[in-house]
Chain A
Amino acid sequence: SQQGEEDPQALSIQEGENATMNCSYKTSINNLQWYRQNSGRGLVHLILIRSNEREKHSGRLRVTLDTSKKSSSLLITASRAADTASYFCAIEGGNTGKLIFGQGTTLQVKP
């Protein structure tokens, strides 16, 4: 399966700490995307990183991609209570518009 696998499944930290989530996948990809979902609502796009990129930043978010290891990580710095959500990685492997999602990491940030 191409499905991304995320680690850890759950993460609980204090406000101000950094949170790191990892995603591994099995096949070649065109791009890898990270999404956030608050309590069973719609997904919010965070970052898209292309297969020829190694790192991208967006505000307090930093994403890395290692295609040789078929893995990606999402770092949220200086976390806030509002960052509490589920985070999903999704891989896009071809010109299909089809995203394959991981099972997600549930992040709880305690005030």
Chain B
Amino acid sequence: KAGVTQTPRYLIKTRGQQVTLSCSPISGHRSVSWYQQTPGQGLQFLFEYFSETQRNKGNFPGRFSGRQFSNSRSEMNVSTLELGDSALYLCASSSSAGGSYNEQFFGPGTRLTVL
């Protein structure tokens, strides 16, 4: 099976702009989670989608949003970009309904730089 894919891999934006990142999960996986990784805060959970529904959300401002499509592909959007949004954004998919005993498979990430 193909792994989790994320596009684009690299992105440079300026403050105030918005950005959309895309994630295609492993075929058959219905759960998609997003994480932000920065040197200062480490890996932080953004949100998780299952069957087009957001089931859990981390502690991020409303500028961060996401959605999932019927084919399980997911997008996340960041509006009004700030310098602090510069990070590696990682998407992960899993086969279970987000319950116990499931492992998550991560994509290569999208490196976002905000100037």
Q: Is the interface of B mostly helix, strand, loop or mixed?
A: strand
Q: How far is the CB of A15 from chain B (nearest CB, A)?
A: 27
- Mark interface residues in A93-111 (1 if CB within 8 Å of B CB, else 0): 0011111111110000000
* Whole-angstrom CA separation of A30 from B4 in the bound complex: 24
Chain B, interface size category, equals: 20 to 34
CA distance A104 to B41 in the complex (A): 11
Chain A residues with CB below 8 A from B104, complex form = 33, 45, 97, 99
- CB atoms of B99 and A43 under 8 A apart: no
CB within 8 Å of A: which residues of B?
Answer: 4, 31, 33, 35, 42-45, 48, 50, 55-56, 58, 88, 90, 92, 94, 97-109, 111
Complex interface: chain A residues within 8 A of B108 (CB): 41-42
Shortest distance in angstroms between B15's beta carbon and chain A's nearest beta carbon? 23
- B56 contacts which chain A residues (CB < 8 A)? 96-98
Residue in A31, A48, A99 whose CB lies within 8 Å of B33: A99
